[in-house]
Chains A and B, each alone.
Chain A
């Protein structure tokens, strides 16, 4: 057993002692650059020790929000509070936050150890203590063997580990991660993402992660805040975001989503082809044409007799491991993705027809113009 626990046992004290982590509150943040509104009224609360991911497409304002939290930008309006204290006007060097940048942030003339110890040096920690803390943290991120290497001698993933250790060295109240994995290879990304989460949990540090990769956000975050055009669309735990997206944008941004044509019928149901589905909650009046949004795993595909030449035409079969994703074209021309266990995929050869049925409850209904 290694990692945080063994180090704690060996040295007798945990690396970061957080008696009580502090929460982060963003209230009414506005920021415009000339004509462009980067942030248009953002409200977000991060509980102490929680990891919230800011997720969204380029230009949605997530990086601006993070930079405002870090202090590199000032909001036009709104406030940033840490543990209840307003820090909106505090200079970045006094905010007690640790930030990991996307890339190129290690000081090139310093070794990994000296990079990690930098914040401690600024705080006038003696050099022996500095060095031992730095080595401790490098061990935590798995870089003790490279302690004396220089940034240009390290790969991208290694550099980001050192960057993380450096941010943690100052025992910050809040950890800020600005797309730390975007510049890395896929395999490295997966591995590092798990480790970052592991470390964050064990230290109990309040963290904000900015990313455009929804898979990354869903897999590590306690809650995911989906942003668009400077506003928050929804902030919820990953499962809820996936199963109950609040808006069509969230529904389609997170995971794969089908759009199928339907019409609202009386008695709170929607007609899709030959099927009638129940609807939860509000819906447009009867006879309104709508799009029914549903996940591939809610689409059932069944074999139909070869003599029957209507139904959905199977176009593509994408092997994803345990699941195979079929792309079918419905009689009305819309495409539908359906997931089924790979061992059943053989029954559905490309070019043949199949019957498509939707699970009983629709995920989301959107009016169709």
Chain B
């Protein structure tokens, strides 16, 4: 017996999942890449072109007097000031608040779902979440208008608690957005919650950890990427939403999506289209940052829960 030899691993190196490319004769050949051509062409035209147009227009300015167009940073700087900044800031504030609400409520709801017995109920609620998360927009706004709008069925109830509440204000929008953000959060957090293995809890207890210590040292850290990812995703969702806010407020609350829309629809001074483009670029940048944060977090969370 190898009692005296140093204990070492004869096992294989840690499993690395690599999808080995198929040993097919035509892998990677020219004809295969051609199969992607329609997709590439389409996205270039319908996605790339508009994006390029935005970048281009945001950097140009037409002098109203001479009708000369020139390249300038002025639009981008304007988009960060005054009227436009209010809208940007309004959107950021709205998104932060609703994302925070959605993360907390979503976590609690997710926990309630995961820990309940009965698979049918669970499936039901999860399918419902999938459906709800994809909807905001007009029907949602109208339902809320019918409920707690100025002539709503339940608006008197609300006014007993919050006499100043009005649906077509910032607060009103904050009340409505979680309707589609919380299901989104639930969809994000439930897989992670289900991935919390009971062995971790038992191992922690066995090693002497109290419930609080478990959550502090194991539970929450493991959930953290998913929580952060959920926050960022709901932030992005709230930030980019348009239809709901438009239907609720008619464009009166300063939000960047509403401003851009009014610029494009020609509701403001002519010559502002370039600033509109600049604002759109701002939006894209912010959403891009959102995605850049979310994706690595989601990958890390998935990796941990796989092991």
Contact = CB atoms under 8 A, between A and B. Distances in A.
- Check whether chain A touches chain B (CB < 8 angstroms): yes
Interface of A: 1-3, 70-72, 91-95, 97-99, 101, 103-109, 118-119, 121-123, 141-142, 149-155, 157-159, 163, 166-167, 170, 185, 187-188, 191, 194-195, 198
B205 to A, nearest CB: 5
B11 interface: yes
Interface in B1-33: 1-15
B12 A155 contact: yes
Contacts of A187: 10-11
B163 interface: no
The CB with the most chain A CB atoms within 10 A, among B3, B13, B213, B307, is that of: B307
B208 interface: yes
Contact of B304 (A121, A152, A154): A152
Nearest to A118: B207
A29 B259 CA distance: 72
Contacts of A155: 9, 11-15
Given A93-B210, A107-B218, A170-B207, A101 B11 contact: no
Interface stretch (B39-47, B65-73, B77-85, B195-203): B195-203
B208 A3 contact: no
A119 B304 contact: no
The CB with the most chain A CB atoms within 10 A, among B8, B13, B202, is that of: B202
19 contacts: A2-B4, A70-B202, A70-B206, A93-B210, A95-B206, A98-B207, A104-B197, A106-B307, A108-B222, A119-B208, A122-B209, A122-B213, A142-B8, A155-B14, A159-B307, A185-B11, A187-B11, A194-B1, A194-B2
Interface residues of B, number: 37
A121 B221 CA distance: 16
Contacts of A97: 206
B89 interface: no
Contacts, number: 119
A167 to B, nearest CB: 8
A152 B206 contact: no
B138 interface: no
A132 to B, nearest CB: 18
B303 A93 contact: no
A166 B209 CA distance: 14
Interface of B is mostly: loop
Contact of B206 (A98, A151, A188): A98
Given A1-B4, A141-B7, A109 B207 contact: no
Given A103-B199, A118-B217, A151-B304, 5 more contacts: A94-B208, A108-B304, A152-B303, A154-B307, A155-B9
Contacts of B221: 109
Given A70-B206, A152-B306, A105 B4 contact: no
Shortest Cβ-Cβ A-B pairs, 7 listed: A142-B7, A152-B307, A119-B207, A108-B304, A105-B199, A2-B6, A151-B307
Contacts of A167: 206-207
B187 interface: no
The CB with the most chain A CB atoms within 10 A, among B3, B200, B207, B307, is that of: B207
B9 A142 contact: yes
A95 B207 CA distance: 9
B11 A72 contact: no
Interface string B187-231: 000000000010110111111111001000110011000000000
Nearest to A170: B207
B206 A99 contact: yes
B305 interface: yes
B255 to A, nearest CB: 37
B253 to A, nearest CB: 41
Given A108-B305, A155-B13, A123 B4 contact: no
Contacts of A93: 205-210
B3 to A, nearest CB: 6
Contacts of A94: 208
A307 B307 CA distance: 64
B217 A121 contact: yes
Given A94-B208, A119-B208, A170-B207, A3 B14 contact: no
A157 B14 CA distance: 10
Nearest to B305: A108
A149 B13 CA distance: 12
B39 to A, nearest CB: 33
Nearest to B196: A108
B119 to A, nearest CB: 19
Contact of A166 (B4, B207, B303, B305): B207
Contacts of B8: 142
A92 B205 contact: yes
Contacts of B207: 93, 98, 118-119, 122, 166-167, 170
Contact of B9 (A2, A3, A72, A157): A157
A95 B307 CA distance: 28
Given A105-B199, A141-B7, A123 B14 contact: no
The CB with the most chain B CB atoms within 10 A, among A1, A70, A108, A198, is that of: A108
Contacts of B11: 155, 157-158, 185, 187-188
